[in-house]
């Protein structure tokens, strides 16, 4: 692709061009913005080149030689890329015909082998992700060994677009972002506010049942607090700039753990009251670069379903096991499968002694073994203050999302001088567990919208039932049915507007309402409703009390699916 671009735009300058999960991209500095038609031109030139110069060769070159050759061609980004290669590392050059490129490879040996490719889109990208550097054009593409595989992938991408939470957010009136408020801040509309309320209610019920206690901490604190915690030193680039209050610098909080540490320190603690499990749905603020802000999935202000557990060393494995059991229960309730990763000490930006890290890592592994949870290894992926177990959930399209985490911390108790009195009367440090089950509510719900395609299960749906009278004279009965369901705290819309019934049905279907209850003269006379589950053409007539019982069961069990009545008689 790069050689085709060079043929069409000889003045092009080339940045990085890596393979990614579902294809590849290349960052380019071009004289003019690319348009959709330009991608077709590039594809045509790619096919010509593949036939004319199909053989790919690899050569090992010296740093001085390749740097001089690239500099002579004016390839300033490639020269910088050469300088980024660590000393002593092998530098390879791949070429075909008169084209060569700096690349570590590997590549296939020939370009005339049977495969299918597609250039998909163009986006802007700052050089090396730095918004102070030049903005380049990034061409995205993909390739497969057969046209059939490519077609399946492109069909999958169309489904990804259909489920895009930003698109559905507008279509279903769920949330918005506003330039007046700034990028990365989400406004929850009433319909999505209901979804969030149901999730939070479920979250709190599960936590209270497992011995957690609610705490609340301020959004702003003195900068010194985050110096003590280590966030200023290790996380400063993600924190908002300080604000001066009474000549003292303050910061909005990037995390909740310093506040929970202060609450712990307000009085003496005994081993008899441990473990302490404190939970907070705490809103935090992190400065994400504008280039990575993305709908609800990457934001600058978000609510973290945070909790911190203070315990003794003897209690640690059981507490970890309890957290892992809670995470499994919650993720399963939403229909997610997941992979758990044990993330160990990072090579850079970490605090604490090696022995402490080893002890914490071993405790996490032991806790997972207690509940029979398999862990994949994520070498060097830990937080700066301790190792962790991260969960990546898989959505309905097979994509992975980073969500839950449990982190073992021996360092913050030391930094905040946290203590408890043990059974021998000695003052000792507690162990601190950081954990989030949903992670960020914004990110979790944004992913949930895409996972469900906007079709929330009955217990979460903004509107659970739409009651639709066939004609105007049937509206009083429709209102009576709706009133009975509303009295049981179901979210019901009585669609008795003076419009054609089919239009009202279409509106309810567009809004992804789980159940449509169609009522006419016969239903009014018999005290029944014609029930049509979402996505099904078939319907079933039943007494209104029987439907209410079904609705209660779906709500109580948090069922993910409504009954399949596609074979039911109309």
pLDDT along the chain (570 residues), means of 10: 94 93 93 92 93 90 93 94 91 91 88 90 89 92 94 93 94 94 94 97 97 96 92 85 91 94 96 97 90 89 95 92 95 94 86 81 91 92 85 90 88 92 95 93 95 96 97 95 96 94 94 96 95 88 95 95 60
Report which of 261, 254, 225, 265 is spatially closest to residue 432, judged by C-alpha positions. Answer: 261
Please name the residue that has the structure tokens 């979460």.
460
- Indicate which residue of 67, 277, 298, 388 is catalytic: 388
Q: Which of 27, 29, 101, 306 is catalytic?
A: 306
Q: Which of 257, 311, 408, 494 is catalytic?
A: 257
Tokens in use for 531? 């029930």
User: How far is the C-alpha of 197 from the C-alpha of 129, rounded, in Å?
Assistant: 37
Q: Has 392 been annotated as catalytic? A: no
Catalytic residue among 27, 103, 269, 304: 304
Ordered strands of the 57-61 beta sheet: 57-61, 91-96, 99-102
| Strand partners for 303 | 283
**Residue of 308, 474, 504, 532 marked catalytic:** 308
pLDDT tens digits, one per residue of 59-85:
999 999 999 999 999 999 999 999 999
- Tokens 């499990």 locate to 277
Q: What angle do CA 120, 124, 129 make, to 5 degrees?
A: 120
How far apart CA 79 and CA 71 sit, in angstroms, is 6
Condensed to tens digits (0 to 9), the pLDDT of residues 373-387 reads 999 999 988 877 788
For 88, left (φ over 0), alpha (ψ -120 to 50), or beta?
A: left
- Catalytic residue chosen out of the listed positions 153, 166, 434, 534: 434
Spatial contact of 177 and 189, defined as CB atoms under 8 Å apart? no
What pLDDT is attached to residue 352? 73
Q: How many Å apart are CA 155 and CA 150, to the nearest integer?
A: 9
Q: Nearest to residue 497, comparing CAs of 468, 524, 521, 518?
A: 468
**Torsion region of 535: left, alpha or beta (phi above 0 gives left; psi -120 to 50 gives alpha):** left
3-class state of residue 16 by DSSP: coil
CA distance 557 to 549: 12
Catalytic residue among 96, 191, 231, 286: 286
pTM value? 0.86
E strands of 17-131, at which residues? 19-20, 23-29, 57-61, 91-96, 99-102, 116-126
Told to judge if 58 belongs to the known catalytic residues of this protein, a careful annotator would answer no
Task: Write out pLDDT tens, residues 236-288.
Answer: 888 889 999 889 999 999 999 999 999 999 999 999 999 999 999 999 999 98
Residue 304 among the catalytic residues: yes
How far apart, in whole angstroms, are the C-alpha atoms of residue 323 and residue 321? Answer: 5
For residues 415 and 386, is the Cβ–Cβ distance under 8 A? no
φ, ψ of residue 465 to 5 degrees: the values are: -140, 135
pLDDT of residue 570: 42
In whole angstroms, give the CA distance from residue 206 to residue 330: 9
In our burial notation (b when 16+ CB lie closer than 10 A, e otherwise), range 408-421 reads bbbbbbebbebbbe
Known catalytic membership, residue 286:
yes
Per DSSP, which regions of 361-446 are E strands? 375-378, 388-394, 400-409, 420-421, 427-428, 431-440
């Amino acid at each position: 692709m790069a050689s085709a671009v060079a043929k069409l735009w000889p003045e092009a300058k080339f940045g990085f061009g890596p393979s990614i999960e579902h294809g590849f991209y290349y960052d380019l500095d071009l004289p003019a913005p690319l348009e959709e038609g330009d991608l077709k031109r590039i594809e045509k030139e790619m096919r010509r080149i593949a036939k004319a110069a199909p053989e790919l060769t690899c050569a090992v070159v010296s740093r001085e030689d390749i740097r001089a050759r690239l500099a002579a061609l004016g390839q300033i980004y490639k020269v910088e890329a050469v300088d980024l290669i660590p000393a002593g590392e092998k530098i390879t050059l791949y070429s075909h015909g008169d084209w060569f490129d700096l690349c570590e490879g590997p590549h296939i040996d020939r370009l005339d082998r049977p495969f299918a490719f597609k250039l998909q889109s163009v986006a802007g990208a700052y050089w090396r992700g730095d918004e102070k550097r030049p903005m380049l054009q990034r061409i995205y593409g993909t390739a497969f060994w057969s046209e059939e595989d490519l077609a399946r992938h492109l069909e999958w991408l169309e489904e990804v677009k259909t489920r895009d939470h930003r698109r559905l957010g507008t279509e279903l009136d769920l949330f918005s972002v506003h330039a007046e408020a700034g990028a990365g801040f989400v406004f929850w509309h009433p319909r999505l506010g209901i979804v969030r309320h149901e999730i939070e209610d479920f979250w709190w019920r599960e936590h209270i049942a497992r011995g957690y206690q609610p705490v609340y901490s301020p959004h702003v604190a003195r900068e010194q607090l985050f110096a003590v915690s280590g966030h200023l030193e290790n996380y400063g680039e993600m924190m908002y700039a300080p604000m001066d209050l009474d000549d003292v610098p303050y910061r909005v909080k990037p995390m909740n753990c310093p506040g929970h540490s202060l609450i712990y320190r307000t009085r003496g603690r005994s081993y008899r009251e441990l473990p302490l499990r404190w939970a907070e749905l705490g809103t935090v603020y992190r400065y994400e670069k504008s280039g990575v802000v993305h709908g609800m999935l990457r934001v600058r202000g978000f609510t973290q379903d945070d909790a911190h557990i203070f315990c003794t060393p003897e209690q640690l494995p059981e507490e970890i096991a309890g957290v892992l059991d809670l995470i499994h229960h919650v993720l399963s309730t939403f229909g997610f499968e997941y992979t758990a990763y044990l993330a160990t000490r990072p090579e850079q930006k970490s605090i604490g002694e090696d022995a402490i890290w080893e002890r914490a890592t071993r405790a996490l592994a032991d806790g997972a073994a207690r509940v029979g949870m398999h862990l994949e290894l994520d070498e060097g992926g830990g937080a700066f203050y301790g190792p962790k177990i991260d969960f990546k959930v898989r959505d309905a399209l097979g994509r992975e999302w980073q969500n839950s985490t449990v982190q073992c911390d021996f360092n913050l108790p030391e930094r905040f001088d946290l203590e408890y009195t043990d059974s021998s009367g000695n003052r000792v440090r507690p162990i601190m567990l950081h954990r989030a089950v949903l992670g960020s509510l914004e990110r979790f719900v944004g992913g949930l919208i895409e996972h469900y395609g906007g079709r929330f299960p009955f217990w979460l749906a903004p509107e659970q039932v739409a009651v639709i009278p066939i004609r105007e004279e049937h509206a009083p009965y429709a209102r009576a049915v709706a009133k009975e369901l509303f009295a049981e705290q179901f979210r019901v819309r009585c669609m008795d507007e003076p419009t054609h019934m089919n239009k009202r049905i279409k509106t309810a279907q567009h809004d992804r309402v789980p159940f449509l209850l169609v009522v006419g003269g016969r239903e009014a006379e018999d005290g029944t409703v014609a029930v049509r589950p979402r996505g099904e053409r078939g319907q079933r007539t039943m007494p209104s009390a029987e439907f209410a019982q079904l609705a209660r069961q779906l709500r109580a069990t948090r069922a993910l699916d409504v009954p399949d009545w596609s074979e039911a008689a109309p």
